[in-house]
Amino acid sequence: MSTCYLNGTYQPLAEARVSPMDRGFLFGDGAYEVIPVYSRRPFRLAEHLARLERTLEALRLPNPYRLDEWAGIVHEIVARNTWSDQSIYLQVTRGADTRRNHAFPIGVQPTVFLMSEALVTPPADQLANGVAAVSAADFRWLRCDLKTTALLANCLLRQMAIDHGCAETVLFRDGFLTEGSASNIFIVRDGVLLAPPKSHLMLPGITYDVVLELAAKHGVAHEVRDILKDEVRTADEVWMTSSTKEVLAITSLDDRLIGDGRPGPVGRQMLAWYQDFKKTVMRGG
Ligand code: PDD
* Residue 71 pLDDT: 98
244 within 8 A of 87, measured Cβ to Cβ: yes
Q: Which tens digits make up the pLDDT trace of 140-182?
A: 999 999 999 999 999 999 999 999 999 999 999 999 999 999 9
For residue 147, indicate whether it is catalytic: yes
Q: What CATH topology corresponds to 124-282?
A: D-amino Acid Aminotransferase; Chain A, domain 2 (3.20.10)
**Which residue's C-alpha comes closest to atom 1 of ligand 1?**
182
Distance CA 176, CA 178 (A): 6
Instruction: Point out the catalytic residue in the list 147, 198, 217, 279.
Output: 147
State which ligand 1 atom lies nearest to the alpha carbon of 179: 2
Domain boundaries, the chain: 3-118, 124-282
* Residue 159 pLDDT: 99
In this structure, the residues whose C-beta lies within 6 A of any atom of ligand 1 are 34, 154, 179, 182-184, 203, 205-208, 241-244
If one counts every other C-beta atom within 10 angstroms of the C-beta of residue 81, the result is 21
Output the pTM of the full model: 0.98
32 within 8 A of 25, measured Cβ to Cβ: no
For residue 89, how far is its CA from the centre of ligand 1 (angstroms)?
12
Cα Rg of the chain, angstroms:
19
In sequence order, which residues have a C-beta less than 8 Å from that of residue 259 and are 6 or more positions away?
Answer: 235, 236, 237, 251
State which ligand 1 atom lies nearest to the alpha carbon of 184: 16
* Residue 285 pLDDT: 62
* Residue 283 pLDDT: 81
For residue 242, how far is its CA from the centre of ligand 1 (angstroms)?
5
Per-residue buried b or exposed e for 168-179, using 16+ beta carbons within 10 Å of the residue's own CB: bbbbbbeebbbb
* Residue 281 pLDDT: 78
Q: Which residue numbers in the chain have pLDDT < 50?
A: none
Distance CA 124, CA 6 (A): 35
Q: What CATH topology corresponds to 3-118?
A: D-amino Acid Aminotransferase; Chain A, domain 1 (3.30.470)
Q: Where are the strands (E) in 45-141, listed by range? A: 86-93, 111-118, 131-137
Q: Which neighbouring-strand residues pair with 115?
A: 89
